[in-house]
A and B are shown apart, each in its own frame.
Chain A
Amino acid sequence: MIAMDSANKKRPEFINVRVKRQDAPGKQPYWQLFKIEYEPELNVISVLQRIAALAENVDGKKVAPVSWDCGCLEEVCGSCTMQINGRVRQSCSALVDRLLEDNADELVLEPMSKFPVVRDLIVDRKRLFRGLERVKAWVPVDSYYNMGSGERQLRATQEQNYPLSQCMSCGCCLDACPQYTKIELTQESGETDEQFAARQDREFDQAFVGAHALSQAMLFNNHPTGKALAGERLDALTSPGGVQGCGNAQNCVAVCPKEIPLTTSIARAGRATTIHTIKKWFDR
């Protein structure tokens, strides 16, 4: 789809790639510089593949291969999300020729900043999914009985919901959010995996849930079957770490690769929780 710019004569011979590396959770991160031969139409994933094939840094020293995560390679799974030239995005859809237009000197690859690093560019996004659990981001159907055909949806509702349903849980909105701060716990000796997971969840559940979950709560509250849990979702949004954690910096909507109207969802959540809280106060 994107034609090569044949007029561009300033094509470099090599590409410098600076990678922020970390050997294990909790270890000190460090920078390493790699140099690969220029090829047209690379994306950042293919750059990382070239680095793996090269297996040495710019000084010719053998180094452990850089670890990264990827899945679909078409910007719908979100697993290859990282910070590229200081901005969070998917590495599969980050085209090197475009990146070099902005910064011809080097590519800078860093792991996401709000999640604990597992190794190099791989992070643990458990908290993101815990956020979806907190707001019950699902339709309550157990398919035990045949419930017949679903309620008809107005076209306007469909059009409101479709963009929100495109969320791939990549975490860009969270990484760019100044209100969403990193939580990194380490398993204590003698603590079982279950105990550690429970401690993590307790910590996550007090902290800001994030734009993705607020938007999913609005999606399912607007769904004919999903709205059965609307009250519970709004309870979750007014509990610790709920919608009140938003500081209206609106970075989420600016970095969302799916262009989901996250700030619209947040404002809708603001209105819904306002009404919900007043109703609850007088219904007691």
Chain B
Amino acid sequence: MSDSSTDSTSELSFFTKHEFAIRRLHSLTGIIPLGLYMVIHLTTNASLLNGVETFQWAVYLIHSPGQLLPLIEWGGIFAPLIFHAAVGIWIARSARINSSQYPFTSNKRYSWQRWTGFAALIYLFLHIMHLHGGFHADGWLSALNRVGLGQFRPYNAGSTLAAAMKVGFGVLWPAIYLVGVLCCVYHFINGLWTAGITWGLWITPKAQSRATKVCLVLGALLTIVSLSAWSAAVFNSDEDIAEMRAVEDRMYDSAVEGGMVPNNPHKRDLRPGESVDEPADGLQVSNVDLVPAS
């Protein structure tokens, strides 16, 4: 008996052996960095409501680490996201959802946590492909550009974001973003509540219902922020976009000169189009061959 049990421990998969640590890490990464990052991201985007300058300034701040940015991106966002998603898929698949048989509120929340998790994963993939592109290689990005993806240019943040929402029929992407962001918000807030139980922060039913109230308030606030961010990106006319672009181009030279962001033409929108004054603007003309798209 004793030797058969030692045999079995060596047979255990890495995942099973370290299940406790992996699941706790899964819980942690959902909040820090992913949840925290999402709050910052949505708040930054909502700042576009105040004006193009506010948003562009915030994006400059985010892009000020320059060369270190891909490291921060991969270490602080993509790697935790991939880990959280992979473990999350395993967790959801190993369960047997039964909220139709036992339709209690908490059980429905449990099921929704799994469904929104899957929806959020698909949405984030689309979102990253649509705006960011995922990798910074030129060939990859120009290939994406040709099919209307990888649309975002951080140094023309507001205008490229608004224009990207109009790719296609101007309905598809806004719809995807609306559903996707709300799924993410639910998943984060409900995950915050369950994490409090997982780590033993709120224990008694009374404490848990107080935590529910706090999470509801947080969720409502984050929903408002999300909808603000969404509407700021979606409801822009072509003239608005052209105006945004003019402002961004004006801000660019001083930002580079002031040392706020490194000069990087790849992060500018160099497409001929909405803005007429742009190509005459100096330093980056040699890179104009980059992308004619959509």
Q: Hey, which bits of chain A sit against chain B, CB under 8 A?
A: 86-87, 176, 178-179, 181, 198, 202, 205-206, 238-251, 254-255, 261, 263-264, 266-275, 277
Q: Using Cβ atoms and an 8 Å threshold, which residues of chain B touch A239?
A: 20
Check if A246 sits within 8 Å of B19, measured CB to CB: no
Check if B197 sits within 8 Å of A255, measured CB to CB: no
Q: Using Cβ atoms and an 8 Å threshold, which residues of chain A touch B50?
A: none
Check if B102 sits within 8 Å of A267, measured CB to CB: no
CB distance from A188 to the nearest CB of B (A): 15
Question: A246 vs B24: C-alpha distance in the bound complex, in angstroms?
Answer: 12
Check if A244 sits within 8 Å of B203, measured CB to CB: no
Closest to B1 in A: A198
0/1 string, B207-239, CB within 8 A of A gives 1: 010000000000000000000000000000000
**Extra inter-chain contacts (11) besides given A268-B200, A277-B24, CB under 8 Å:** A176-B102, A178-B107, A244-B198, A254-B106, A255-B102, A267-B204, A268-B203, A270-B197, A270-B199, A271-B201, A274-B200
Contact of B16 among A198, A206, A248, A271 (CB under 8 A): A206
CB distance from A193 to the nearest CB of B (A): 13
User: Does B17 count as interface, using CB distance less than 8 angstroms?
Assistant: yes
Check if A261 sits within 8 Å of B205, measured CB to CB: yes
Listed A/B pairs (6) with beta-carbon separation below 8 Å? A178-B95, A179-B95, A246-B197, A250-B107, A250-B110, A251-B98
Q: Using Cβ atoms and an 8 Å threshold, which residues of chain A touch B23?
A: 244
The 7 A-B residue pairs with the shortest CB-CB distance, nearest first, are A271-B200, A249-B110, A270-B200, A250-B106, A244-B23, A267-B203, A248-B194
Q: Using Cβ atoms and an 8 Å threshold, which residues of chain A touch B205?
A: 261, 263-264
Q: Using Cβ atoms and an 8 Å threshold, which residues of chain B touch A249?
A: 106-107, 109-111
Q: Hey, which bits of chain B sit against chain A, CB under 8 A?
A: 1, 4-5, 8, 12, 16-17, 19-20, 23-24, 91, 94-99, 101-102, 104, 106-107, 109-111, 194, 197-205, 208
CB distance from A181 to the nearest CB of B (A): 5
Question: A244 vs B5: C-alpha distance in the bound complex, in angstroms?
Answer: 22
Q: Using Cβ atoms and an 8 Å threshold, which residues of chain A touch B197?
A: 246, 248, 263, 266-267, 270
Check if A181 sits within 8 Å of B95, measured CB to CB: yes
CB distance from A205 to the nearest CB of B (A): 8
Question: A198 vs B202: C-alpha distance in the bound complex, in angstroms?
Answer: 38
Q: Using Cβ atoms and an 8 Å threshold, which residues of chain A touch B101?
A: 86-87
Q: Using Cβ atoms and an 8 Å threshold, which residues of chain B touch A206?
A: 12, 16
Q: Using Cβ atoms and an 8 Å threshold, which residues of chain A touch B97?
A: 178
Closest to B97 in A: A178
Question: A277 vs B205: C-alpha distance in the bound complex, in angstroms?
Answer: 25
Q: Using Cβ atoms and an 8 Å threshold, which residues of chain A touch B200?
A: 267-275
Question: A86 vs B96: C-alpha distance in the bound complex, in angstroms?
Answer: 15
Contact of A178 among B16, B19, B110 (CB under 8 A): B110
Question: A87 vs B101: C-alpha distance in the bound complex, in angstroms?
Answer: 7
Check if B19 sits within 8 Å of A244, measured CB to CB: yes
Instruction: Knowing A206-B16, A248-B110 are in contact, say whether A178-B104 is a contact too (CB < 8 A).
Output: no
Contact of A241 among B8, B19, B96 (CB under 8 A): B19
Most buried by A among B16, B20, B99: B20
Instruction: Knowing A255-B102, A264-B205 are in contact, say whether A178-B20 is a contact too (CB < 8 A).
Output: no
Q: Using Cβ atoms and an 8 Å threshold, which residues of chain A touch B24?
A: 244, 274, 277
Question: A246 vs B101: C-alpha distance in the bound complex, in angstroms?
Answer: 19
Closest to A83 in B: B101
Instruction: Knowing A267-B203, A271-B203 are in contact, say whether A240-B12 is a contact too (CB < 8 A).
Output: yes
